[in-house]
């Protein structure tokens, strides 16, 4: 009986926290995170990343089917910006692997696609940060650029 009462009390006390979870939207510099990921060795630099609206260095000769990645990371003990950079790097690693699988050297037309809402920018990506998690969703196409 006492255990049930304590569990019920915990649910009642925590329900406002759960129902009003923080979801702060950030629009942050994309290229800075790409450069940091290359310097850190998370990306090898063989695949270039182009946000929608960015001009490619060369002509796109072939594109592959659109791919989407939805990554989350633990935001505890990190600033929102650090968590967002971390989770974007994770998404870029997935896109790099997909591009290599297709023999591609680029990912083009990248857009943020969090909760199926498109955010397009030629310089910024969208990240959602909460108290314990941060998330980035991207969609784009692997491509061969010559």
> The domain that contains 136 carries what CATH number?
3.30.110
**Measured distance CA(47)–CA(96) in Å, rounded:** 6
- Residue 17 within any structural domain of the chain: no
**Measured distance CA(51)–CA(41) in Å, rounded:** 21
Report pLDDT digits (tens) over 8-60.
444 444 444 444 589 999 999 999 999 999 999 999 999 999 999 999 999 99
Which tokens sit at 115?
Answer: 């909760």
pLDDT at residue 116, as a whole number: 95
Q: Report how far apart, in Å, the C-alpha atoms of 119 and of each of 13, 57, 101, 123 are.
A: 36, 23, 27, 11
pLDDT band at 2 (very low <50, low <70, confident <90, very high): low
- Residue 3 within any structural domain of the chain: no
- Residue 15 within any structural domain of the chain: no
- Residue 136 within any structural domain of the chain: yes
* Domain hosting residue 92, numbered range: 22-145
- Residue 47 within any structural domain of the chain: yes
Report pLDDT digits (tens) over 65-123.
999 999 999 999 999 999 999 999 999 999 999 999 999 999 999 999 999 999 999 99
pTM: 0.85
- Residue 27 within any structural domain of the chain: yes
Higher pLDDT, 22 or 2: 22
**Measured distance CA(121)–CA(23) in Å, rounded:** 20
- Residue 7 within any structural domain of the chain: no
Q: Report how far apart, in Å, the C-alpha atoms of 122 and of each of 5, 104, 110, 125, 135 are.
A: 54, 21, 9, 9, 20
- Residue 1 within any structural domain of the chain: no
Which tokens sit at 26?
Answer: 């950030």
Q: How many domains does the chain have?
A: 1
């Amino acid at each position: 009986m006492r255990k049930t009462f304590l569990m019920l009390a915990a649910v009642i006390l925590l329900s406002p926290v759960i129902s009003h979870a923080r979801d702060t939207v950030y629009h942050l510099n994309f290229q800075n995170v790409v450069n940091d990921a290359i310097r850190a060795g998370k990306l090898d630099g063989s695949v270039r990343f182009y946000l929608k609206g960015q001009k490619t260095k060369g002509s796109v000769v072939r594109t592959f089917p659109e791919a989407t990645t939805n990554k989350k990371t633990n935001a505890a003990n990190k600033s929102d910006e650090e968590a967002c950079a971390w989770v974007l790097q994770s998404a870029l690693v997935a896109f790099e692997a997909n591009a290599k699988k297709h023999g591609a050297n680029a990912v083009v037309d990248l857009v943020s696609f969090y909760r199926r809402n498109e955010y397009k920018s030629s310089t910024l990506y969208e990240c959602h940060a909460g108290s314990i998690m941060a998330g980035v969703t991207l969609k784009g196409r692997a491509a061969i650029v010559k």
